[in-house]
Structure 1
Amino acid sequence: MTALTATKILELTNSVSGEYCGKLLADFGAQVIKLEDPVNGSPTRRMAPLATAGADPERSGLFAYLNTNKRSVAWDVHTDVGLTTLTQLLQRVDVVITDRPVDGLKSIGLDPDTLATKFPRLVVCSITPFGAESVSEPESGQPLHAEDLNVFHSSGWGFHTPSAAQISRPPLKGAGRFLASYEAGLEAAMCTVSVLFERETSQLGQFIDISTQAVLASRADYVLGQMIAGDMNVSNDRTAYDLHGPADIYACADGFVYIWMSAPAHWEALSKMLGAPAWMEDFPGNWLERDCTPERVAECRQHVGEWLKTQHKAQVAEDAQTLGLILVPVNNPADLLSSPQYQYREFFTELHHPVLGAVDYPTVPYKLSKTPATLKSPAPLLGEHNVVLGELNAEILANGSTAERNT
């Protein structure tokens, strides 16, 4: 049994954040029905990387990753029949994941005011760029469009990216393609599980309003926290986020490593690893904390960088960590697949997709001993599980009206 066995979820979302939220819950055993447009399916089905073989809309590696363990029902909810079917589904699920703002939810009865009377036990998790109450586009009822890049910069993160500020360069986009979406999806999944736990006592559902912008702002660099706590002077200068130390990415003989140094213990560990070179004698032992000048940083980076060019990243990382120095390899996909740690933890699971073939999928970065996350099935083909609607009709005929079951 997994952690969310018997939890039924309806996924009404076209976003990476919503699909990632659904994936996290599905991988822990929730029964997730993904309601898709019958013609085109989810927009993520057309997002790269795309397999060179196979027909659309089943070639997307992104969709394959985001939708493991789910079932796909292709159904148009904008028709009278579709809306009726949606209402019937809502009476049989525990959670709805959506990316529509409040005014876009009113037409299908999922706004907070309607929920309390029509679906009192239902949990609705809304994930939008700027919150469910944000202004919608005219007529469509969809949230104002915002890519992850827009949300990333509106949250303030771009202001100190890269963290070692280079005033002559503009702010960057941050790590990965969908940093904002993945963080929001994770936040949404945790909030959903928390509300489901609370419902065991109250017997009442809740409306969860996830703003991707707010989530990313909450992940802001700890420098901001130090300003709020009074440990640093409050400043809107971009250089305030520069830690002014020798931390950096360095080239090795076979790739790159990242080093973080901020304390005397790190300096001592570096000295042991390099064999106590003469150039280090000119630096005071506590210079990283009390006298971290630009000149010393530049000299340190030069010497360390020259030495690392002769080293292999995996071995030097192991040696450094044994000494207590924070040094890690910059891994590529091949490194991750061959990682002894990941292999020991069985981090990757092979699934066979009917179009993409056999692929190794990453699982989750945490393991629960009694209720682990498991990957049992690949992402569904568009409309692969339309039989769910037939099962629903059979249930209605067998049990009569469903309205009473949700009250």
Structure 2
Amino acid sequence: MSGALSHIRVLDLSRILAGPWASQTLGDLGAEIIKIERPNSGDDTRQWGPPYVKDVDGNDTNDAAYFMSANRNKKSVAIDMAKPEGQELLHELVKQCDVVIENFKVGGLKKYNLDYDSLKAIKPDLVYCSITGFGQDGPYANRAGYDFLIQGMGGLMSVTGQPDGADGAGPMKVGVALADILTGLYTVIGVQAALAHRDKTGEGQHIDVALLDVQVATLANQALNYLASGNAPTRLGNAHPNIVPYQTFATSDGHMILAVGNDGQFVKFCEIAGIPEIAEDERFRTNASRVKNREALAPILQARIETQSLDWWITNLEAQAVPCGPINTIDRVFEDPQVKHREMQQSLEHPVARQVPSVGSPLKLSQTPVEYKSAPPTLGQHTDETLGELLNLDADTLTKLKADNILG
């Protein structure tokens, strides 16, 4: 079966993470992704190592694991867009594509005649998505935006980390580039919406996605906590601003996440813990009262939880459908039986390493399943193939373009 987007071709001018994450997701869903890279150097993340992918002899290749995380199901075509001949080739490719994704600075592609207005003149129904730190307009439009910076400016770091007065207190970034990843996912949503509009009207459009906008939008309940109350949320460590108990606790041999989502679950927890009277205490009977009295409740629960092992708690709490779990290191994540069952680790054929690991897509579609067609490409791996098939360039022409350093 073909993927749901197998009729779509994307010209991917993006690099680093947000744009490549979007195009990889579209590729997983079946779209043909033509990744345009600079000859000789390629996407910056190819060099963001160690670790690097190793060849069959165990030696490091030129491709970092970072690059491999966001570039499967793509064809790499190395074209120098700074040269007029390279721009002409890209214009011809645009005519064969449905979508362009780019994450250059605002106005950065205009000098190459690769901005939306220039490409719209070539292909009026083009869906063109621009990803920037701060958007196409506004007082910060010309600033460069990076995930770490956006996590700080967008408020995420102000609610992440240990609270003031605790050991290690201070704002903390999330351990993955979450603003980039979420921006990539919102980009996919926007592209699909624009394609649906095009299918109905024949019109293309320009999609403007900003990392800061995405970070603010995904503050979710924390944003509304502020807007509804006028009080800015603060750091609570592993505790939750609106639910108690919903945090980590130390057991006798490790830490456990206890995620009580309603009053019934709290009653069950207290029964299992041997402290049923706590659930009847007026200070703790409802979630609202537990939120108000969290500082009184947490030490009581901690004193009881630390008397039993992690396995004891998980076994007994899960038996009564009280949400709980361990805090896995990433190696243990991939050994988890549920993760294995859901096939979240994949292995893909690679022209240099033979096989490279990949993390599976979380999308499970019954009629158009995700496809793992190809490993992240080597730099320029598909230049001849793609330009030959789509632009009918013969071998002599390709050889000359390479000699002139237009292609890599």
Contact kept, 8 Å, 1:246 with 1:300, in 2: the verdict is: no
1:346 aligned residue (343, 346, 349): 343
Which residue in the other structure is 1:57 paired with? 62
Query: In structure 2, what is the equivalent of residue 151 of structure 1?
Result: 150
- For residue 104 of structure 1, give the secondary structure of its aligned residue in structure 2: coil
Q: Report how far residue 265 of structure 1 moved.
A: 1.6
Q: 2:115 is matched with which residue?
A: 111
Q: Offset of 1:279 from its aligned partner?
A: 7.0
Residue 75 of structure 1 is matched in structure 2 by 79
Q: Specify every segment of 5 or more residues in structure 1 that has no aligned partner in the other structure, as ranges.
A: 138-142, 397-407
Measure how far apart 1:101 and its partner are. 3.6
SS of the aligned residue for 1:66 comes to coil
94-103 or 82-91, which moves further after superposition? 94-103
Instruction: Give the corresponding residue for 1:405.
Output: none
Amino acid at match of 1:129: G
1:309-388 alignment to 2 at 5 Å? 310-312=309-311, 316-317=313-314, 319-387=316-384, 388=386
Q: Contact between 1:8 and 1:30, CA under 8 Å: does it hold in 2?
A: yes
The reply on whether 1:86 has 2:85 as its aligned counterpart is no
**Identity, % of aligned pairs?**
27
Q: One-letter code of the match for 1:219?
A: T
Cα pair 1:101 1:126 within 8 Å, conserved: no
Letter in 2 for 1:173: K
Compute the displacement of 1:391 (Å): 2.6
Q: Which amino acid aligns with 2:62?
A: P
CA distance in 2, matches of 1:379, 1:135: 37
Q: Tell me, what secondary structure is at the counterpart of 1:57?
A: strand
State the aligned residue count.
382
Partner of 2:289: 290
Amino acid at match of 2:199: E
Write the distance in 2 (CA, Å) between the matches of 1:10 and 1:57.
23
- Unaligned runs of at least 5 residues, structure 2: 395-408
Residue matched to 1:40? 41
CA distance in 1, matches of 2:302, 2:140: 52
Q: Give a deviation string over 1:191-239, Cα, whole Å, max 9, x none.
A: 11111122111111111110011011101040322443x4xx2113636
Q: 1:258-304 CA distances to partner (integer Å, 9 max, x unpaired)?
A: 11235322321212322447777767551542254254234234224
Q: Structure 1's 204 and 115: CA in aligned 2 closer, same or farther, altered over 3 A? A: farther
> How much has 1:243 moved relative to structure 2?
4.3
Structure 2 distance, partners of 1:41, 1:121, is: 29
Is structure 2 residue 21 aligned with structure 1 residue 20? yes
Farther-moved stretch of structure 1 (248-257 vs 331-340): 248-257
TM-score (normalizing by structure 1): 0.84
Equivalent residue, structure 1, for 2:232: 236
For the aligned residues, what is the CA RMSD? 2.9
CA contact (8 A) 2:104 2:132 kept: yes
CA–CA distance in 1 between the matches of 2:140 and 2:293? 50
The answer to whether the 8 A contact 1:9-1:30 is kept is yes
Change (3 A) 1:258 1:237: closer
